[in-house]
């Protein structure tokens, strides 16, 4: 199971839905619980097997440090979207 390593009291909100995040070397993973995503957002963002990031986005520096990320920046690109019965999972690959 993917879980956040951030302290319980610290929330890293997505503008549209809460996300659990984890990092394994080279791979940042966001897990969105289907019950937490609005129907309109799920149709618009999770209806294909790919997740498009048009512009780079930055995680808060403290979160990037706590997760051990090589950078707080997630570059633009097309990323694989995995689906389970309860979640949508996006893995962002990082180059060292």
In a domain, residue 6? The reply is: no
In a domain, residue 12? The reply is: no
Beta strand 77-83 with 87-93 is antiparallel
Tokens representing residue 77 in the block: 């690109």
* Residue 78 φ then ψ, to 5°: -110, 125
Is residue 57's pLDDT more than 60? yes
**Interatomic CA distance for residues 55 and 87, integer angstroms:** 24
In a domain, residue 58? The reply is: yes
In a domain, residue 37? The reply is: yes
Q: How many domains does the chain have?
A: 1
Is residue 76's pLDDT more than 90? yes
In a domain, residue 25? The reply is: yes
Tokens representing residue 61 in the block: 């520096």
What global pTM score does this model have? 0.73
- DSSP 8-state secondary structure symbol assigned to residue 61: H
Provide the pLDDT for residue 46: 73
Range of the domain at 28: 20-93
pLDDT in tens, 3-43: 444 444 444 455 567 888 899 888 999 888 888 776 666 66
């Amino acid at each position: 199971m993917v879980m956040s390593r951030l302290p319980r009291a610290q929330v890293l909100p997505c503008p549209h839905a809460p996300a659990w995040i984890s990092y394994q070397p080279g791979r940042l993973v966001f897990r969105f619980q289907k019950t937490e995503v609005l129907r309109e957002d799920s149709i618009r963002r999770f209806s294909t097997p790919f997740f498009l990031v048009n512009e780079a986005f930055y995680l808060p520096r403290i979160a990037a440090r706590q997760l051990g990320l090589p950078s707080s920046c997630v570059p633009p690109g097309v990323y694989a979207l995995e689906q389970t019965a309860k979640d949508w999972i996006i893995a962002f690959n990082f180059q060292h």
